[in-house]
A = this chain, B = another copy of it.
């Protein structure tokens, strides 16, 4: 009967050295070297025994782990999977493993996951996704994040700068405003905004920014129809559908994200309203998977993968800094880039 799993002690005794030597043979820590011959013996013994270091044991004595936790609203949403991709790419370069938690847009789950990740003593906890405009919720998250930093964990957030931690701030308002101006300049005048949930700060910032941009361009914003709803494809589809059924009069719809824009296009199509001939449609994010839809979607590009990398880097701090120093709170602002495509060719005044 073979043992379930060889431990370092097994390796040491098989190699005929002490536990300490075996340990040093692996970590070779801080100049404390092991004579090459012994080292080889240890390594050979380890191989023969299929030794695999126990990360929990090491974590316990070291007081830190190689795990970073990433909390997203919905990993199946291409917005978040792109960000996750960036986080993982960066984490891999630091030799870190990424634990991803998908809250399915339940803020209480988010709280729970941060706490769980704290229990794991994750090296860093990353929050990606819009904050929700509820003070109690924000306080609760702040407290939980503080618990993480108190243990030496790093923390960073991607969305709004409201948690007193390093943040990748997406310039939702500015990007949306620029889109508003651009569409106005293309001749659109009668706008509908599919605004998403009221309390979702990202959605609200985009909707408000867009209207602001329109105002800057000189449009009477009282004419802009802002329609709240779900932050999803199906939500946008339903709202668009309802608007159409009640006899909508508009020449352009702005959805606060690409996935919603796609839903709007589908609703329009199903209703027999041609896009972009009868009505223009624009979104936000520039989701890669959606780049081939017809008509090509005008959108505000946000460098999602790169943002994921930045998020990870922000948490870890600059490489020069010692790993156990607290990272200073920083902000990185990410601008959005307006990309006009076939879905908003413009409208020449009749």
Contacts and interface: CB of A to CB of B under 8 A. Distances in A.
A152 interface: yes
A88 B60 contact: no
Contact of A100 (B59, B74, B100): B100
A6 to B, nearest CB: 10
A169 to B, nearest CB: 22
Contacts of A102: 84-85, 88-89
A120 B122 CA distance: 13
Contacts of A333: none
A67 B99 contact: yes
Given A88-B75, A116-B97, A121-B54, A266 B290 contact: no
A265 to B, nearest CB: 7
A136 interface: no
B150 A119 contact: no
Contacts of A53: 119
Contacts of A290: 289
A271 to B, nearest CB: 14
Chain multiplicity (copies): 2
Nearest to A305: B76
Interface in A83-130: 84-85, 88-89, 97-102, 104, 115-121
B97 A99 contact: yes
A5 interface: yes
Contact of A119 (B55, B84, B269): B55
Contact of A82 (B59, B76, B89, B288): B76
A89 B59 CA distance: 27
Contacts of A116: 97
B115 A88 contact: no
A44 interface: no
B52 A147 contact: yes
Contacts of A56: 56-57, 59-60, 65, 120-121
A49 to B, nearest CB: 11
Interface string A37-66: 000000000000010111111011000010
A4 B88 contact: no
A262 B289 CA distance: 9
A151 interface: yes
A65 B56 CA distance: 9
A330 interface: no
Interface in A140-175: 147, 150-152
A338 interface: no
Contacts of A82: 76
7 contacts: A5-B151, A50-B147, A52-B147, A57-B60, A76-B78, A81-B84, A269-B294
**Which 10 pairs across A and B sit closest by C-beta, in order of nearness?**
A76-B85, A81-B81, A56-B59, A294-B294, A55-B119, A99-B99, A56-B56, A56-B60, A55-B120, A100-B100
Given A74-B85, A97-B101, A97-B120, 18 more contacts: A52-B119, A54-B121, A56-B57, A56-B59, A57-B60, A67-B99, A75-B81, A76-B82, A76-B84, A76-B288, A76-B305, A78-B78, A81-B81, A97-B99, A97-B116, A97-B117, A98-B101, A265-B292
